Amino acid sequence: MVRGLLPVSALLLGSAFLLFAGGVNGLILPVRGEIEGFSAASLGLLGTGWAIGYVAGCLLTPTLVANVGHIRSFSVMCALAAITVLMALIFLTPYIWIPLRAISGFCFAGAAMIVESWLNERSDSASRGKVFGFYTMINLGAMTAGQMVITLGDASGYLFFVVAAMVYCLALLPTALTASATPTALVSVKLDLRGLWRNSPIAVFAILMVGISNATFGTLAAVYGARAGLSIAEIALFASIPILAGALAQVPVGILSDKFDRRKVLMGTAAIAVLADLIFVFSGISTPLAILAMSGVFGASVFAMYPVIVAHASDHAAPGTFIQVSGGLLLVFGIGSIIGPTVAGFAMTSFGNNSMFAVTGFAHVLLLGFAALRLRKRAAVAPEEKVAFQAAPLPRSTTPETAVLAEKEEGPASDK
């Protein structure tokens, strides 16, 4: 097994550095912003800026790579990401941080696409599933480690900004020094909302709502935790536990969605998410242990929805269109990621801390209602016609190239 991963070890290491730095960067900004007295609205706009940059990176990176090549493009992405972290340390103002965060999102998406394209080129039909599995686990572990590392020092100083910048620079070394041949051109995905809607209305609507919910939590969890009185270590756990819970929940949720109507499974996970939202908003839980426990329930539901939605859309997709469908849904998720933090940030500024979960709860209720409506409009897919459920990395660390890497050699999942 290890021998089979040696040809892509440099790429996996580069990806681990990238996700570790992204974990540090993504958590230190809202924590430090809260220390500096930034409003929740301005901190929410950090997530909006990141999502705009991330969508732009998914759309524009293939052209950049076609012009200057993979290694140069990846090096530029990592260098720019490091520069933006250091500039955020110099200019402690949200007016500078928001556009810097957009640049970070662009670089992060571009770098991830290049790594995934390279991994796909270097793996064959016998090893692709194993490579994708290790890639997903490494990314999850690296991002979690990056978030947890802020417990080791003072968030009011310069340390974690410098650490993030250094690790972004480290990320470019494995690919810059590798002797592997550069891969073919990156996949280009266009946003065809009309075609996606015809294929599966519930997938489009649900992925938009999940984008709103997940990006709201991903951006403002640290702000919520700080205002709820959590320590720095507890804030890091509050951001990390839901991610780990969501990754673990994908296994039982995937099994259920293969056996039953995926829309009903999606409604079940959304119902659990609504319950968690209501508890956060109305129960007044305030002890760290209760907050962390409920964050696990929240994460197990919200972070398990994305692969169910993609699988349902693939059930209805035409043969050979899996990459276009999953890539298009990712861009719709990005649109939701632009909306969610903006609305939630202003809501928290105007109505208080629990407004974050009011926004996520509203998105989950809308998802439930629309799914119930679609159950009346369209029959369930027969079990023998379903695609195989494919666990997925977190949507905010997923690119159109992820679908290419995850795709089976024998053909798209929709061909099955």
Rounded percentage of the chain residues whose pLDDT exceeds 70: 83
What are the residue ranges of helices labelled H in 260-287? 262-282
pLDDT, tens digit, 9 for 90 and up, residues 401-416: 776 666 644 344 433 3
Condensed to tens digits (0 to 9), the pLDDT of residues 97-128 reads 999 999 999 998 888 888 877 777 776 666 66
Q: Which residue has the tokens 């690296």?
A: 142
Name the pTM for this structure: 0.86
Long-range CB contacts for residues 371-375, cutoff 8 Å, separation at least 24: 371/202, 371/206, 371/263, 371/266, 371/267, 371/270, 372/267, 374/201, 374/202, 374/263, 375/261, 375/263, 375/264
Query: Residue 140 belongs to what H/E stretch?
Result: helix 128-148
Contact, 215 vs 303, CB < 8 A?
no
Angle of helix 355-377 relative to helix 262-282, nearest 10 degrees, comes to 160
- pLDDT band (50, 70, 90) for residue 162: very high
The CATH 1.20.1250.20 portion of the chain extends over 2-177, 193-415
Res. 234: pLDDT tops 80: yes
Question: Residue 342 carries which side chain, given as an amino acid letter?
Answer: T
Q: Bigger pLDDT: 375 or 248?
A: 248
C-alpha distances out from residue 415 to 187, 256, 321, 327, 328, Å = 19, 21, 9, 17, 18
- Was domain 193-415 assigned CATH 1.20.1250.20? yes
Q: Nearest CA to 232 among 62, 27, 1?
A: 27
Q: What is the DSSP letter of 200?
A: -
Question: What's CA 164's distance to the chain center, in Å?
Answer: 19
Say if CB 244 and CB 297 are below 8 A apart.
no
How far does the chain reach from its first CA to its final CA, in angstroms? 27
Mean pLDDT for the stretch of residues 197-211: 89
| Residue in the structure block whose two tokens are 């040696």 | 6
Is residue 238 within 8 A of residue 230, CB to CB? The reply is yes
Encoded tokens for 74:
């990846």
Q: Among the listed ranges 283-292, 307-316, 344-353, which one has the minimum average pLDDT value? A: 307-316
> What pLDDT does 409 receive?
42
Residue 397 and residue 19 in contact, taking contact as beta carbons nearer than 8 Å: yes
Taking residues 330-358, report their average pLDDT: 92
pLDDT in tens, 46-87: 999 999 999 898 888 888 888 888 788 888 999 999 999 999
Q: What is the DSSP letter of 43?
A: H
Would the pLDDT of 289 be above 80?
Answer: yes
HEC profile for 292-347?
HHHHHHHHHHHCCHHHHHHHHHHHCCCCCCHHHHHHHHHHHHHHHHHHHHHHHHHH
Q: Which fold has domain 2-177?
A: Growth Hormone; Chain: A; (1.20.1250)
Q: What is the pLDDT of residue 6?
A: 52
Q: Which two tokens stand for residue 23?
A: 């974990």
Average pLDDT for 5-34: 84
Rounded distance between C-alpha atoms, residue 13 and residue 215, angstroms: 26
